[in-house]
Homo-oligomer: A and B are copies of this chain.
Amino acid sequence: MKKAEAAVAVAGCGGGAPVPGFLAKLWALVEDPGSDAVICWSRNGQTFSILDEQRFAKELLPKYFKHNNLSSFIRQLNIYGFRKVIALENGMMTSVKNLAIEFQHPFFKQEKFSLLANIKRKVSAVRPEDLKVCQEDLHKVLSEVQEMREQQSNMDLKLASMKRENQALWKEVASLRQKHSQQQQLLSKILEFILNLMRRNCIVGLKRKRSLSDGSGASPSKYGRQYLRIPVEDCETAAISEHKPGCEDGLVIRDITDVHEGEEDDDDDNQKDCPEKPLALAHVSSGNWDAQLPAREGILPCEALQTLGLEPPEVICPVQLADSPVEGGGEESNAVELHSAEPPATEDPAAVIASILDENQAVAQSGSVLERFPTFFPREEMQDFLNCIDASLEELQAMLSGKKLNYSSEMLTDPFGSELTVLDENLTDVPPNLDSVEHLPENTDAVETDEQETSGKNDMQLIQYRGNPLLSLLEDVPSSEVVCKMENADDVLLASLEDRPSLSLASGSEETVQQFPDSAVQADDSPGLEPQDQPLLPEDVSGEYKLFPLLLLSPVANFIEEASEIKPLEPDKDLLEAASQL
């Protein structure tokens, strides 16, 4: 005991390093010259050997440790990282079983006591950590996997459901677009019908005027066909109204801007700055139609014009009727004079139409219209009839204005409605190209089967849908928005989808009759005086609208305006993006 302590003490005095007790005792054991026969340095001081394990265990070990078991001693050696030197290295005495036990450690060298500080006890603390960490990790990972599996199945369901919903939504959108197209066509037809009706009325009035007061008018057969030509956008409609045999009245409606050269794109300017266009005719109070006699023709509208700050109607006729069908070449000087005192559009069929539908104008015109029916229809009855028409028009106008009020109030109070408005604002107006119309059905099916390529499908669907000739007729070309879109577009798909509008924008919109270079402007509640660049009915009505400024005051104008307020069918920007990103 004292020996071991002394050895430890001697060893410990060499430095301040806190050498573990086992290492100190081992050092002492090996260093002790008295025990060299049992345990000693070997191999030139690189290792140490226990020459007589029996004596070592039973005699030496108890002096340094609390046991006399060689195994315990060896265990400690192992714990401190000592390793046994195998017998073959010892040399020749391989066969000799009871050869000395030899151990080594990188930091346990003779004369190098200071190295002992580097010898660390193998803590089992590391190991449980390792194992526990591993196990914990495994459990963690396992649970995570479980969780992820659930999540994945959830997402699978969700995705499938969403896919179905998307499919249904595409269907719905297609159906709605179809309906919209049908409606728009119907609207166009109806409005065309009404305009036609009014135009005819105007012609009749013109006929009458000439036969009565003028006598210089051309033959009535001429009047039947040449003055106005309602522009038809799609070939089919055009074919119907143009090439129909027996249809002796092809209408040619020219844009009012054709008359004013160089002002084609800015209707706002046209209306506000050009006094020749009597767009500012106010709704004169209705109900006093019976006071409107032919003698008062031109007086009331003129007053109305003046009340609106417009100049007197010396240049009221933006579109003229010419005896020969000169298209677009009409100028103010060529105007056939009739009702020269009548301010609103005079011989312009549009004015007549408006006058028919507008209360005061209708009365003002009615007298002249009925002059041709002296024998067949009693004047009183005709007056009655027109009175009724006027009343109904009046009522309709009132209803329309009332509806309009209601509408806006709905928009304000109904969150859904307002939300819709907001949504609509966000929609981008990107017309598609007409490619690959024939692929839609396959793609619709592909939505179900194909899992990954939804983008292509949707795009195709979009394109195809837009490519529907029915719909292409109704497309509007809001050039400014398209330009903005083009700037922001960074993917090829979007650019390709915008191909058509960009083309139509680049070109002077001269080649196609159905393209309207104007961009949509909401002239909703402004009382019909500022149609501006607003695209009206995308097809038939726009030119007519411009052509017949007085329509603004008639219920038909309300119809047209309202129809134009229904935004044209154009794909959602988000839709495009979403489709292109899938």
Contacts and interface: CB of A to CB of B under 8 A. Distances in A.
Interface residues of A, number: 159
B169 A169 contact: yes
For the complex of A and B, list the 5 residue pairs with the smallest distance between their C-beta atoms, beginning with the closest.
Answer: A370-B377, A372-B381, A374-B378, A373-B382, A376-B379
Interface string A150-187: 01100110110111111111111111111110111111
Q: Is the interface of A mostly helix, strand, loop or mixed?
A: helix
A414 B437 contact: yes
A392 B172 contact: no
A378 B378 CA distance: 6
B388 A382 contact: no
Interface in A369-424: 369-389, 391-393, 395-396, 398-400, 402-403, 406, 409-410, 414-420, 423-424
Contact of A169 (B62, B170, B184, B240): B170
Interface stretch (A201-209, A265-273, A326-334, A340-348): A201-209
Nearest to A436: B416
Contact of A392 (B134, B166, B199, B465): B199
A335 B231 CA distance: 46
B380 A372 contact: yes
Contact of A189 (B151, B203, B470, B559): B559
Tell which of A176, A191, A381 has the most Cβ of chain B within 10 Å: A381
A381 to B, nearest CB: 2
A299 interface: no
B165 A58 contact: no
Nearest to A172: B572
A372 B380 CA distance: 4
A369 B204 CA distance: 18
A246 B558 CA distance: 20
A186 B566 contact: yes
Nearest to A573: B168
B178 A424 contact: yes
Contacts of A416: 437-438, 440-441, 464-465, 467-468
A438 B67 CA distance: 88
Nearest to A197: B392
Interface stretch (A82-90, A113-121, A136-144, A513-521): A136-144
A249 interface: yes
A443 to B, nearest CB: 9
17 contacts: A155-B156, A159-B159, A161-B455, A164-B574, A165-B579, A176-B180, A190-B191, A197-B392, A237-B403, A240-B403, A373-B378, A374-B377, A374-B380, A414-B438, A415-B438, A416-B464, A419-B441
A540 to B, nearest CB: 11
B166 A166 contact: yes
B187 A395 contact: no
A562 interface: yes
A449 interface: no
A179 B474 CA distance: 13
A241 interface: yes
A75 B465 CA distance: 81
A380 B373 CA distance: 2
Given A162-B159, A172-B572, A173-B169, A383 B376 contact: yes
A562 B183 CA distance: 8
Given A199-B392, A373-B382, A468-B416, A152 B141 contact: no
